[in-house]
Structures are given as structure tokens and as C-alpha cells.
Amino acid sequence: MEDSRTRDPALRRLVGWLLDDASQLPLAITAGVLLAVGFPLSAWIGPWLEIEPVTAAGQVMIWASLACGAVHGLQAAWESVRELTPSIDMLMVVGAGLAAGIGHPEEGALLLFLFTLAGALEIRAMAKARDAVARLKRLMPKNAIVKRGDEWQPVDPEDLVPGDVVLIRPGETIPADGRVLAGHSNVDQSTLTGESLPRTIEPADDVFAGTLNQTGAIEAQVIRPVGESSLQKILTLVLEAQERRQPIQRVIDRVSTPYTVSVFAVALIAFLGFMYVWPQLAVSEAAYRAITLLVVASPCALIISTPTATLCALSRTARAGVLVKGGDALERLASVRKVALDKTGTLTTGQIEVTHVEPIAASNIDSLLEVAYAAEQRS
């Protein structure tokens, strides 16, 4: 009884891991390796050497690859059946299962391997995009110093309301959008504007959450809550960009159910046609041709490539500090031929450095550089 109780939680953890999104990449890699090793063993090496165990081992690997690839495919297909909305996922799973059923498990395993790999890449891209959002969130300070009566008290920035007066010391991040009441300072706003040079602020100037106060202490009055700050708007834009689907994806989503039903119907008609129009064909041959039609008619390439490429691009641009408002904007970038940049810091760093020296009427370059260095070392 004790062993049974010990095994059950382990089994539940294993099943939970298999059905979790995190298992897609390990399963895809496993399925790919098993198929890459198993197919040559069963199709070429075993028959050529005439060693039956080698051929059998290859077949076992192919079926194991099919099983690894089917885990998440069956889960997606079951959700489609439960919701009574036939989907492209169900189309691919049924095609792979039928291919295996008529004696071609390697083709079903290859299809499910690609399906699982595409899902794993999409999840990985989404995780990187979430990391980029998390890095943006870390720009916000963990606390703020607010004036309560005659005293300054530390509070959570989320508790700030319009009208609160906050103290921002040199080296601190501004906790909320506000207007300067007292003090002069320089503020690094590169997190919002990309501008590499700090901005000088004085009373009546506006300051923004997530920017860095550099030189002097200032008092500022909060003009909007943290949830409505400029940085929060950037976070919202990034999240919306990740969730916005490209036009071709929206079309696929809209026609997914009728298209899937149509492909199933056409494949069935093709099977019956091969059976009755060419009665000399065996049932397995007619079924194989109908299944080939079913698999080929599935828009796997669009489903696999479009979301993965879009999410990878959004993740990469977010890490570089560039906001792209969805996949449709990325598509429009393909037609861009000219780009105008309005300020330093967009493509340049704003950090001037000497790359080479061209002396004019100077015989000693070393002496010239010593004089220049002496003049500039405190600049």
C-alpha cells in the first residue's frame, strides 16, 4: 500500500509534466532523435544487413517517436472535440494516426514531430517576450518616499494617488508621473525616449515614472497613478503587441472549422472514389492516397511558421527597446524602403570617441595627443 501511495504522486507529476507546455521542447527533441535513428534502421540498415532485430528496433523507435509527438497533438485535438469545433490541429493528428494505421508510422511521426516542435518554438518565443516585459517592469522602483503631514514615509508606488508629494533623491528612479515642485536636477529619460543626453528639470517641469534622477534631490507632485504612467503604457503596448494576431492568422482562425470539415469530407469522397472508380486498388492503397490528400491539404506551414516568426520578432525588438504594435505592423515593415531618424540615440549611442587622428601641420603626433588628453581629461 505504501508503494502504491508513493507511485501515484510520481505518476501524477509525470502526467502533469507531459501535459504542461514546458514539456513540448523535450518531447519534440526526443521525437526527432528517435525518428532520425529509427527510420534508417528499419528502412535501410536492417533490411540491407538482413538482421531482423535491427529492423524491429527501428520500428519501435518510430512508434516511440509517434507517441512523443502525439502527446500535445492529442491534447489539442481533444479540446477541439470537446468544444465541437474541428480545428487544423485535429486534422494533423487524425492524418498522422491514419498514416500510422495503414502501415506508415514514420510519416505520421514526422508530421507530429513538426507539430510539437512548432508549438515548442512558439512557447519559447512567448517566454522570451515575457522576460522582456519583466525587464521593463524592473525599471519601476520598489518604494517611494511620500510626504504625510510633516514627515516623509516610504510607501509602495502602487499606493500613490494624484496630489501626493514625493521626494526623489539623486540616483533614484522616479516612482510615478509627476510635476516638479522644488529642486533642480538632470533626469535620464533614455528608458522612455531613447535620448542619450539627460534632461535638465526645474520647478513646473513634468517627470515620468521609470526615468532616473541623476544629480539633485527634487520634490514632485504625483499627477497620475502608477497604473496610468508612461512606462505602464509601454508595458501595455508590448502585451497588446504579443497578443495581436497577424491578418493571415485571423483568417486561419476564422475558417479553421469549416476548412477542417471540408478537408475531412473531401478525403472521404476521395477514398470512396478510389475504391469504386479504380476497384483494382487495394483498400490500404486507396486509404493511403486519401490520407495523403488529407495531410497535404492541411496548412501546416502557415500554422507553424507565422506565429513563431512573429513572436520571435516581437521578443527580439522588445529586448532592444523597440515597440512593434503586432504582427500586422511587422508585415508592413517589409514594404519600407526609406527610414528617417530624428535624433541621436535612435541608432547611435551618443558617446563620442576618437577613432583615428589626422594631424595638420603637426610633426609630433604623440605630443599633440598628450595636449589634447590634458585638456579633455576633466571634460
Catalytic (active-site) positions: 342
Alpha helices in 138-246 (DSSP H): 190-193, 230-243
Rounded distance between C-alpha atoms, residue 182 and residue 184, angstroms = 7
Helix or strand run (H / E) with residue 182: strand 178-182
* 156 three-state secondary structure: coil
Q: In what order do the strands lie in the sheet with 218-222?
A: 151-155, 144-148, 165-168, 218-222, 178-182, 206-207
CA-CA distances (angstroms) from residue 47 to 52, 53, 55, 60? 7, 10, 7, 15
Does residue 179 come out as left (phi exceeding 0), alpha (psi in the -120 to 50 range) or beta? Answer: beta
Number of neighbours of residue 355 by Cβ within 10 angstroms: 5
Number of neighbours of residue 78 by Cβ within 10 angstroms: 13
Rounded distance between C-alpha atoms, residue 126 and residue 85, angstroms = 25
